[in-house]
Amino acid sequence: MDTTNSTTNTPRTRNKSSGLAVLIAGIAIIIGAAGSAVLDGLWIAVLIGFLGLIYGIPGVHRYQAPADGALGTWGAVLIRYGGAALVLLGLVSLLWEAVGDVPDEGPVLVEVIWLIGFVAFVIGVILFALGVVRAKVLPVASGVLMLVGLVGSLVVDMVTGAFFEPEPVTTEWGFYVGMPVFGLGLAWVGYTVWKDAGARSGVESAVAGDARRET
């Protein structure tokens, strides 16, 4: 973990903002995944959550490095760039809907980008979650929740066939239940980093203030 003194742009400050971003991302994914069973438009909250991960996950990796090893390093890279591809396509889809109906099948390039981004993101989460479990810097259970939530959601929806349906006919139980579990793990990770970085910054500021008064 970083131990640099707290200033405007120190590693400690960046850790705090990264933790907050991942905390918000986790909450947004919980709301978007669970709430989309009632309101279709709430999937946008999942998109917002992915945006938070793009910003926050590299900072969380720095927080627990080097204890998370190559798992954390590659996991953070794949989550960031895989998530960025998915967010980009999500924004394109929103713009497309604003202009007109989104076609059932998009251009081949879009399908390829989606597949690459999706696979990269899933592999990234698996690696990163295993890194959390390995490092034991953050709560091990939070990494388990991330892993079980995401992988479980995919397995359930693939088994039921819901994952492969262009238009949802089969209830996406994996998405509605598994993704909130994934989001809970993220929120736990983010909260831990945010709280610890904030507490350490407060202690360091108090120590610095006492030192100045003594001089």
Within a 13 Å sphere around the CA of 89, how many CA atoms are in the beta-carbon half? 18
The predicted pLDDT at position 210 comes to 44
Compute the distance between CA of residue 145 and CA of residue 86 in angstroms, rounded to an integer: 22
| Residue 21 · residue 197 · CB < 8 Å | no
pLDDT tier at 11, thresholds 50, 70, 90 = low
pLDDT tier at 203, thresholds 50, 70, 90 = very low
Average of pLDDT values for 173-182? 94
The predicted pLDDT at position 206 comes to 42
The label of the residue with tokens 């009632």 reads 38
List of domains in the chain: 11-198 (1.20.1070)
The more confident residue out of 110 and 83 is 83
Average the pLDDT over each of 49-58, 82-91, 103-112, 182-191 and give the range with the smallest value.
103-112
pLDDT tier at 215, thresholds 50, 70, 90 = low
Q: What is the pLDDT of residues 22-58, one digit of tens each?
A: 999 999 999 999 998 888 888 899 999 999 999 999 9
Q: What is the pLDDT of residues 59-68, one digit of tens each?
A: 999 999 999 9
Average of pLDDT values for 91-119? 81
Compute the distance between CA of residue 52 and CA of residue 113 in angstroms, rounded to an integer: 20
What the block records as the tokens of 129 is 């979650």
pTM, entire model: 0.84
The conformation of residue 162, written as its DSSP 8-state character, comes to G
Compute the distance between CA of residue 107 and CA of residue 190 in angstroms, rounded to an integer: 36
**Residue 212: pLDDT over 70:** no
The predicted pLDDT at position 135 comes to 96
Average of pLDDT values for 179-196? 97
